[in-house]
Structure 1
Amino acid sequence: MEPKLSEAVEQWFSWNKDESSSAEIKSLVDDKKYEELEKLLLSRMEFGTAGLRAKMGPGFSQMNTLTIIQTAQGLLKYAQKQFTTEELATKGIVIGFDARYNSKSYASLTASIFARAGCRVRLFSNICPTPYVAFSCRFYGLCLGVMCTASHNPKQDNGYKVYWNNGAQIIPPHDRGISEAICENLEPWESSWDIPLIPDIYENNLISDPMAEVDIEYMKLLKTSSTRLEKNKESKLKFTYTPVHGVGTKFVKLAMETFNLPELIEVPLQCNPDPEFPTSPFPNPEEGKGVLKLAIEAAEAEGSNHVLASDPDADRLAVVEKQADGSWRAFSGNELGAIFGWWAVSNWKKNGSQDGENTYMLCSTVSSVILKTIAAKEGLNFEDTLTGFKWMGSRAKELIDQGKRVLFAFEEAIGFMFGQNVLDKDGVSAAAVMAEIITSLDEENFSLSHQLENIYKTYGYHVTNNSYYICHEKSIINKMFSEIRNYDKNPGAYPQALGRFKISGIRDLTTGYDSREEDKAAKLPVSKSSHMITFYFDCGAVLTMRTSGTEPKIKYYSEMIGSSLESCKSELDELIEHMVNNLYKPEVYGLIARSLN
Structure 2
Amino acid sequence: MRADLLIERFGPNATLRFGTAGLRAPMGAGYNLFNTVVVVRATEAVLGYLADTYGWDTLRARGLVIGYDARLHSETFAKAAARVCLEHQVAVGLLDRWVPTPLVAFGVVHQHRCAGIMMTASHNPKEYNGYKLFTERGAQISSETAKAIEARLQLNTVERASPERHACPQVEEWFAPRDSVEALSTAYIERAREELYVPVNADPSRLRIVHTALHGVADAYLSKLFATFELPAYVPTIAQQQPDGQFPTASPPNPEEGVRVLRLALQTAEQIARAGSKAAMNSAVVVLANDPDADRLAVAELVPGPNPQWHLFHGDELGMLLAWWMIRQVQAGSHHRSSREVVLINSVVSSRMLDAFASHQHKPRCRFLQHYPGFKWLSELALEQAAQQRQVLLVYEEALGYALGGLHSGQLLVNDKDGITAGAVVAQMAYFCHQNKAFGSLQGLLESLYRQYGLYLQYAGYLRCQDFTILVPLFERIRHRLANGELLLFTSDDGAGGGKPLPPRRYQVHGVFDWTQGYYCAYGCDPVPLTLPPQRQAHFMTFCIRESDERRQSLQRQQPEERSRRQRRSQVQSASRDATPSPSRSPTLPADAELRVTLRNSGTEPKLKFYSELHLPPNAAQAVDRDTLRQSLRRAVRALIEAFLQPALHGLEYGSTS
1:554 is aligned to 608
2:397 is aligned to 411
Choose from 498, 523, 526 the match for 2:531.
Answer: 523
Q: 1:170-319, aligned counterparts within 5 Å? A: 170-186=141-157, 187=159, 190=165, 193-196=168-171, 200-202=175-177, 208-229=178-199, 231-232=201-202, 237-303=207-273, 305-319=285-299
For residue 62 of structure 1, report the CA deviation from its aligned partner: 0.3
For residue 595 of structure 1, report the CA deviation from its aligned partner: 4.0
1:127 is aligned to 98
1:50 is aligned to 21
The AA in structure 1 aligned to 2:638 is E
The AA in structure 2 aligned to 1:38 is I
2:6 is aligned to 37
More deviation, 273-282/443-452: 443-452
2:333 is aligned to 351
Choose from 575, 594, 606 the match for 1:540.
Answer: 594
More deviation, 331-340/573-582: 573-582
The AA in structure 1 aligned to 2:312 is A
Please give the secondary structure, in 1, of the residue aligned with 2:529: coil
1:505 is aligned to 511
Q: How far does the alpha carbon of each residue in 1:556-585 deviate from its partner, in whole angstroms, 9 at most, with x for none?
A: 111122131647535533421321221121
Partners of 1:334 and 1:399 in 2: CA distance? 22
Q: Tell me the TM-score normalized by structure 1.
A: 0.88
- CA change 1:491–1:43 in 2 (3 A) is farther
For residue 327 of structure 1, report the CA deviation from its aligned partner: 2.2
1:9 is aligned to none
Partners of 1:320 and 1:442 in 2: CA distance? 14
Is residue 74–residue 129 contact of structure 2 (8 Å, CA) maintained in 1?
yes
1:424 is aligned to 416
2:109 is aligned to 138
Is residue 153–residue 282 contact of structure 1 (8 Å, CA) maintained in 2?
yes
Q: How far does the alpha carbon of each residue in 1:198-248 deviate from its partner, in whole angstroms, 9 at most, with x for none?
A: 98211xxxxx40412211110011113445336348876321111101111
Q: How far does the alpha carbon of each residue in 1:111-136 deviate from its partner, in whole angstroms, 9 at most, with x for none?
A: 11112212221111111000001111
Q: 1:571-586, aligned counterparts within 5 Å? A: 571-586=632-647
Partners of 1:260 and 1:189 in 2: CA distance? 55
For residue 145 of structure 1, report the CA deviation from its aligned partner: 1.0
Please give the secondary structure, in 2, of the residue aligned with 1:224: helix
More deviation, 574-583/399-408: 574-583
The AA in structure 2 aligned to 1:550 is T
Is residue 277–residue 283 contact of structure 1 (8 Å, CA) maintained in 2?
yes
- CA change 1:220–1:494 in 2 (3 A) is farther
Partners of 1:183 and 1:492 in 2: CA distance? 41
Residue-pair matches, total: 559
Residues 1:438 and 2:430 aligned together: yes
Q: How far does the alpha carbon of each residue in 1:333-385 deviate from its partner, in whole angstroms, 9 at most, with x for none?
A: 01111111111111122125364752101001101112111111103001001
Is residue 536–residue 543 contact of structure 1 (8 Å, CA) maintained in 2?
yes
1:150 is aligned to 121
Is residue 206–residue 434 contact of structure 2 (8 Å, CA) maintained in 1?
no
For residue 148 of structure 1, report the CA deviation from its aligned partner: 0.6
Partners of 2:44 and 2:164 in 1: CA distance? 8
- CA change 1:596–1:521 in 2 (3 A) is closer
For residue 258 of structure 1, report the CA deviation from its aligned partner: 1.3
For residue 506 of structure 1, report the CA deviation from its aligned partner: 1.9
- CA change 1:579–1:456 in 2 (3 A) is same
Partners of 1:107 and 1:580 in 2: CA distance? 42
- CA change 1:258–1:97 in 2 (3 A) is same
Partners of 2:41 and 2:112 in 1: CA distance? 26
More deviation, 273-282/532-541: 532-541
2:38 is aligned to 67
Please give the secondary structure, in 1, of the residue aligned with 2:240: coil
From the CA coordinates, give the structure whose radius of gyration is larger: 2
Choose from 346, 351, 354 the match for 1:368.
Answer: 351
Is residue 542–residue 598 contact of structure 2 (8 Å, CA) maintained in 1?
yes
Is residue 197–residue 229 contact of structure 2 (8 Å, CA) maintained in 1?
no
2:60 is aligned to 89
Q: How far does the alpha carbon of each residue in 1:77-114 deviate from its partner, in whole angstroms, 9 at most, with x for none?
A: 11111112232123221111111111111111111111
The AA in structure 1 aligned to 2:454 is G
Is residue 348–residue 354 contact of structure 1 (8 Å, CA) maintained in 2?
no
The AA in structure 1 aligned to 2:543 is F
Please give the secondary structure, in 1, of the residue aligned with 2:344: strand
Choose from 465, 472, 476 the match for 2:466.
Answer: 472
- CA change 1:72–1:574 in 2 (3 A) is same
Report sequence identity in percent.
32
Partners of 1:103 and 1:545 in 2: CA distance? 33
Is residue 357–residue 381 contact of structure 1 (8 Å, CA) maintained in 2?
no
More deviation, 63-72/512-521: 512-521
Partners of 2:418 and 2:220 in 1: CA distance? 15
Please give the secondary structure, in 1, of the residue aligned with 2:116: strand
Is residue 514–residue 540 contact of structure 2 (8 Å, CA) maintained in 1?
yes
Is residue 59–residue 114 contact of structure 2 (8 Å, CA) maintained in 1?
yes
Is residue 484–residue 494 contact of structure 1 (8 Å, CA) maintained in 2?
no
Partners of 2:197 and 2:509 in 1: CA distance? 45
Please give the secondary structure, in 1, of the residue aligned with 2:329: helix
The AA in structure 1 aligned to 2:150 is S
Partners of 2:509 and 2:340 in 1: CA distance? 34
Partners of 1:571 and 1:345 in 2: CA distance? 33
- CA change 1:210–1:364 in 2 (3 A) is farther
For residue 192 of structure 1, report the CA deviation from its aligned partner: 6.6
1:590 is aligned to 651
Please give the secondary structure, in 2, of the residue aligned with 1:48: coil
The AA in structure 2 aligned to 1:573 is R
The AA in structure 2 aligned to 1:280 is A
Q: Tell me the TM-score normalized by structure 2.
A: 0.80
The AA in structure 1 aligned to 2:4 is E
Is residue 237–residue 262 contact of structure 1 (8 Å, CA) maintained in 2?
no
Q: 1:318-337, aligned counterparts within 5 Å? A: 318-323=298-303, 324=305, 325-337=307-319
- CA change 1:178–1:369 in 2 (3 A) is same
Partners of 1:122 and 1:399 in 2: CA distance? 30
Q: How far does the alpha carbon of each residue in 1:423-470 deviate from its partner, in whole angstroms, 9 at most, with x for none?
A: 111010011000100111111251111111111111111111111111
Please give the secondary structure, in 2, of the residue aligned with 1:66: helix
- CA change 1:549–1:274 in 2 (3 A) is same
- CA change 1:130–1:167 in 2 (3 A) is same
